[in-house]
Amino acid sequence: KQEVTQIPAALSVPEGENLVLNCSFTDSAIYNLQWFRQDPGKGLTSLLLIQSSQREQTSGRLNASLDKSSGRSTLYIAASQPGDSATYLCAVYGGATNKLIFGTGTLLAVQP
Residues 9-68 that bind other proteins (CB under 8 A): 9, 31-32, 34, 41-46, 49
Nearer to other proteins by Cβ, of 12 and 81: the residue is: 12
AA letter at 98: N
C-alpha–C-alpha distance, residues 56 and 53, integer Å: 9
8 Å CB contact between 92 and 33: yes
C-alpha–C-alpha distance, residues 92 and 5, integer Å: 11
In this chain, which stretch among 11-19, 63-71, 76-84, 98-106 interacts with other proteins, using CB under 8 A?
98-106
How many residues appear in the chain? Answer: 112
Nearer to other proteins by Cβ, of 6 and 57: the residue is: 6
Residues that bind other proteins (CB under 8 A): 4, 6, 9, 31-32, 34, 41-46, 49, 89, 91, 93-94, 97-105
